[in-house]
Amino acid sequence: MLKQPSKKYRPFPPVELPNRQWPGRTLTHAPRWCSVDLRDGNQALAVPMNVSQKLELFHALVKCGFKEIEVGFPSASNTEFTFNRRLIEEKRAPDDVWLQVLVQAREDLIERTFESLVGAKRAIIHMYNSTSPAQRRVVFGKSKDEIKVIAVNGAKLIKERLPRLAGTEVMLQYSPESFSATEVEYAKEVSEAVMDVWQPTPERKMILNLPDTVEVAMPNVYADQIEWICRNIKNRDSLIVSLHTHNDRCTGVAATELGLLAGADRVEGTLFGNGERTGNLDIVTVALNLYMHGIDPKLDFTDLNLVREVYERCTGMTVPARHPYGGELVFTAFSGSHQDAIKKGLAEWSRGGREHWDVPYLTIDPTDIGREYREVIRVNSQSGKGGVAYLLESEFGIELPKEMQREFGPIANDEVDRLGREVSGAELKAMFWREYVERDFPWQLEGFETESRNGVVKCRARLLRDGKPVEFSGEGNGPLAALVHGFSTIGEPRFEIANYSEHALSSGEEASAISYIQIKRADGKSRWGAGVDTNIELASVRAVLSALNRG
């Protein structure tokens, strides 16, 4: 890298916009959305989608609630043309969905585009030409006036052909491509020249799409550019001002959100931000950002996992694990303190009584978008006892007493650390079973009977110690007290029961009870044990033996 980048790169000039309004505004409603997955997204794929993949993604987009879908660039290839024809001829688009098609301001391409649209119920014809200084100089070698002529001629060619689409409701869209790198005054001049041809009215608006084709500045600059256009362009009320941001500086979402504050009405983007280079705007994120502020986004991502699945299958792209809302890990906490806070927050929420969602570390309720609480906590060596306890309880109904969590948490963590990877709930349960429930050495239970008379419980225990039979009797005010007493009669070191709890285990093979017992020895040392049995009394005897066996 250069020591003095200023020798090669220059700062982006700010927009002269005194008294800018957008910083003081807040978003209150959803914009009109247009998906460009099948066009901008598709043209960014190493292997573009075939017709059946495009059809599957089209239907998924309709299901999400998109009413405007850029279906392709029909004059660019046979696949694109055929896809558009199939949508129309097979009546695949619901009547309220606009099929948008992209075309350059060139006669042959415009001609073919019109052919592709015959019979459509609703269509948006989207014409574009590049307007930035670099494009004018490098690609076209044309002056500002000559570039404006390209736009005006294209607009005229489209207008002349409109009668051919007699049965179709048509909306016209113009994009000064690379708008954000274009002088705002010149972008206005070209756009107004196109408006002069198309003659939009408040009743019959045209879409003016202002692309951040390549992000060249911070999102506040884009917002200034949008507000500048909204304030200065003629007949603003005859326009639907549309945003189309890319993500080169990783601020595509921010640019769109600020652009909406600046007065735009409409947003173009793709699912999960697929698109050229670093991608188009991620519409899922902007929509769910609105949702998390209580605004109906007018798009439905109730089953975001399914949307992601279809997207990945059709495009061959993968949604990164940390991608907002849709990524595999975004509702997963690994750190112990996060897990603990989430567990407490979810418990508070499920008790009811709170009007608004306010769970630490979770901006929205994962279940609203089809993700599961179960996904929220997984365990690795960074996890605390909270995560361990949550998994055992949520997956297996094992409700470890708080104090036992303090004992088992570090044991589990050591084991996970040794494995050097994340562990599943089933693996944690197996660790718990190994550590407590299956501890049958040196003491093993052979039989345990009790009888109770006048409030005194007498027990008879038949055990193995180191594989050799041992029998004893004991008495107390309950079976456990009798067992403890019995041990003292055979010269075992004294201990007492410090903690005891039990509950039934969930259905299935383990239709049984689990008992957790903490014993305290005369030397002050304490140990937890756990026992499982179909008989609750035997479960607690096993728990005592487990604690003794743990030394």
Choices 2-10, 38-46, 47-55, 71-79 (CB under 5 A): range interacting with Zn ion: 38-46
**Shortest Cβ 280–ligand KIV spacing (Å):** 7
The count of C-alpha atoms lying within 13 angstroms of the C-alpha of 32, restricted to the half-sphere facing its C-beta, is: 17
Please list the residues that pair with 452 across neighbouring strands: 457
State the Cα–Cα distance between residues 92 and 414, nearest whole angstrom.
57
| 468-476: strand order across its sheet | 443-453, 456-465, 468-476
State the Cα–Cα distance between residues 272 and 173, nearest whole angstrom.
24
Q: Among all chains, which residue has been given the structure tokens 């390209």?
A: 150
Indicate the DSSP class of residue 505.
Answer: P
Measured from the CB atom, the residue of 215 and 435 that comes closer to Zn ion is 215
| Residue 371 touches which of ligand KIV, Zn ion, none (Cβ within 5-8 Å per kind) | none
**Shortest Cβ 142–ligand KIV spacing (Å):** 18
| Residue 128 touches which of Zn ion, ligand KIV, none (Cβ within 5-8 Å per kind) | ligand KIV
Indicate the DSSP class of residue 499.
Answer: E
Task: Give the DSSP H/E element, type plus range, for residue 208.
Answer: strand 206-212
State the Cα–Cα distance between residues 53 and 335, nearest whole angstrom.
39
Cβ pair 215, 180 in contact under 8 A: yes
**Shortest Cβ 175–ligand KIV spacing (Å):** 4
State the Cα–Cα distance between residues 103 and 278, nearest whole angstrom.
23
State the Cα–Cα distance between residues 142 and 146, nearest whole angstrom.
6
Is 40 a residue that touches Zn ion (CB under 5 A)? yes
**Shortest Cβ 54–ligand KIV spacing (Å):** 17
Task: Give the DSSP H/E element, type plus range, for residue 456.
Answer: strand 456-465
Measured from the CB atom, the residue of 191 and 405 that comes closer to ligand KIV is 191
| Residue 175 touches which of Zn ion, ligand KIV, none (Cβ within 5-8 Å per kind) | ligand KIV
State the Cα–Cα distance between residues 392 and 376, nearest whole angstrom.
13
**Shortest Cβ 186–ligand KIV spacing (Å):** 16
Q: What angle do CA 516, 521, 523 make, to 5 degrees?
A: 145
| Residue 279 touches which of ligand KIV, Zn ion, none (Cβ within 5-8 Å per kind) | none
State the Cα–Cα distance between residues 479 and 486, nearest whole angstrom.
10
Is 212 a residue that touches Zn ion (CB under 5 A)? no
| Residue 177 touches which of ligand KIV, Zn ion, none (Cβ within 5-8 Å per kind) | ligand KIV
**Shortest Cβ 210–ligand KIV spacing (Å):** 9
Three-state secondary structure call for residue 545: helix
Measured from the CB atom, the residue of 39 and 148 that comes closer to ligand KIV is 39
Choices 35-43, 61-69, 137-145, 194-202 (CB under 5 A): range interacting with Zn ion: 35-43
Measured from the CB atom, the residue of 54 and 244 that comes closer to Zn ion is 244
Please list the residues that pair with 282 across neighbouring strands: 270
| Closest residue by beta carbon to Zn ion | 40
Measured from the CB atom, the residue of 173 and 413 that comes closer to Zn ion is 173
Choices 37-45, 148-156, 161-169, 448-456 (CB under 5 A): range interacting with Zn ion: 37-45
For Zn ion, the binding residues in 482-501 under the rule CB under 5 A are: none
Measured from the CB atom, the residue of 178 and 413 that comes closer to ligand KIV is 178
State the Cα–Cα distance between residues 400 and 431, nearest whole angstrom.
14
Measured from the CB atom, the residue of 33 and 291 that comes closer to ligand KIV is 33
In the complex, which residues of this chain contact ligand KIV (CB under 6 A)? 40, 102, 128, 175, 177, 209, 211, 213, 244, 246
Cβ pair 376, 341 in contact under 8 A: no
State the Cα–Cα distance between residues 206 and 192, nearest whole angstrom.
11
State the Cα–Cα distance between residues 109 and 103, nearest whole angstrom.
7
**Shortest Cβ 180–Zn ion spacing (Å):** 11
**Shortest Cβ 213–Zn ion spacing (Å):** 6
Q: Among all chains, which residue has been given the structure tokens 């604690």?
A: 547
**Shortest Cβ 134–ligand KIV spacing (Å):** 13
Measured from the CB atom, the residue of 242 and 546 that comes closer to ligand KIV is 242
Cβ pair 194, 188 in contact under 8 A: no
**Shortest Cβ 128–ligand KIV spacing (Å):** 4
Measured from the CB atom, the residue of 215 and 537 that comes closer to ligand KIV is 215
**Shortest Cβ 147–ligand KIV spacing (Å):** 15
Measured from the CB atom, the residue of 84 and 546 that comes closer to ligand KIV is 84
Question: By C-alpha distance, which of 203, 77, 209 is closest to 151?
Answer: 209
Choices 32-40, 139-147, 396-404, 503-511 (CB under 5 A): range interacting with Zn ion: 32-40
Judge residue 520's burial from the number of C-beta atoms within 10 Å of its C-beta, 0-12 exposed, 13-18 middle, 19 or more buried: middle
Measured from the CB atom, the residue of 247 and 339 that comes closer to Zn ion is 247
Residues that bind Zn ion (CB under 5 A): 40
